[in-house]
Amino acid sequence: MLIVFYLFAFNVQAADATWPTKTQYHYANIKEQKIFYREAGTQHKQTIVLLHGYPSSSHTYRELIPLLSGRYHVIAPDYLGSGFSDRPAPSNQDYTFEVLAEYVTALLQHLKVERYSLYIQDFGAPVGFRMLLKNPKKLDALIVQNGNAYLEGLTPQRQAFFKQANQDRSQAQLDKLYSFTGEQAIIYKQYLRDVTDNTSIMNPDSWTHDLHFLQTQQDRLIQVKLLQDYY
């Protein structure tokens, strides 16, 4: 499994390390929807925003948040449609990365966060890059872990997959994308695919938490909509 990190720092200084703070769990009313977020650290320190990938939530960062909280003010939201945040029906709500970025931006405004660093990976990349383009002066640093800013950053196979997902709206294609949100796909394609010889390093809490929020057809279709929007 190849893990790639990039760090772009614009106005960041390392703070003195202190003991981790207790993570707190909050909801905020954003644009008439309930958005869940995890928060740790103190407000006067530099803020780092952790944006999660597919098909997960801020639960992804449950181990990283304490490590950062001694130095930074940390916010990790669940996107609209993910985790503990509200999940309005896809028939009534558009699910695009533009929409997710709008909700995260609105959450930061609600919390009166004027500047921040972004940690983005997987689906967090198209969310975070949209936030960056809309509000470039708010960004202190950008940390990228396996996140793409352009199609050429994907392998030809993945480009073809997302192009078909975006352009082919047939029932057969919909069924194919839907299958990727099932239990076996989440466990063995998302988590264990690249560690088949060392599965003990993967915490089963990860896929158990993801699957809890993928129990209904509506929940799974939300993720399908995002797969269709990626290209």
Which residue in this structure is represented by tokens 């780092």? 48
Per-residue pLDDT band for 118 (boundaries 50, 70, 90) equals very high
Rounded mean pLDDT of 28-40? Answer: 98
Rounded mean pLDDT of 118-126? Answer: 97
Predicted local distance difference test score (pLDDT) of residue 18: 77
* Structure-block tokens of residue 63: 């181990």
Predicted local distance difference test score (pLDDT) of residue 2: 47
* Structure-block tokens of residue 86: 């509200």
Per-residue pLDDT band for 1 (boundaries 50, 70, 90) equals very low
For 138-176, the pLDDT digits (tens) are 999 999 999 988 888 899 999 999 999 999 999 999 999
Query: What are the residues whose beta carbons fall under 8 Å from the beta carbon of 54, sequence distance 6 or more?
Result: 122, 123, 190, 223, 226, 227
Sign of the torsion formed by the C-alpha atoms of 108, 111, 117 and 121: negative
Q: How far apart are CA 140 and CA 125, in angstroms?
A: 16
pTM, rounded to two decimals: 0.91
Which CATH number covers residue 59?
3.40.50.1820
For 198-228, the pLDDT digits (tens) are 999 999 999 999 999 999 999 999 999 999 9
pLDDT at residue 4 is higher than 90: no
* Structure-block tokens of residue 115: 């500047």
Q: Are 7 and 142 in contact (CB under 8 A)?
A: yes
**What is the residue range of 114's domain?**
5-229
Predicted local distance difference test score (pLDDT) of residue 43: 82
Rounded mean pLDDT of 122-149? Answer: 95
β-strands 5-9, 139-145: how paired? antiparallel
Predicted local distance difference test score (pLDDT) of residue 13: 64
Q: How far apart are CA 75 and CA 106, in angstroms?
A: 13
3-state secondary structure (DSSP) of residue 47: strand
User: How confident is the prediction for the chain on average, in pLDDT?
Assistant: 93
Total structural domains within the chain:
1
Q: How far apart are CA 62 and CA 180, in angstroms?
A: 24
For 41-87, the pLDDT digits (tens) are 988 889 999 999 999 999 999 999 999 999 999 999 999 999 999 99
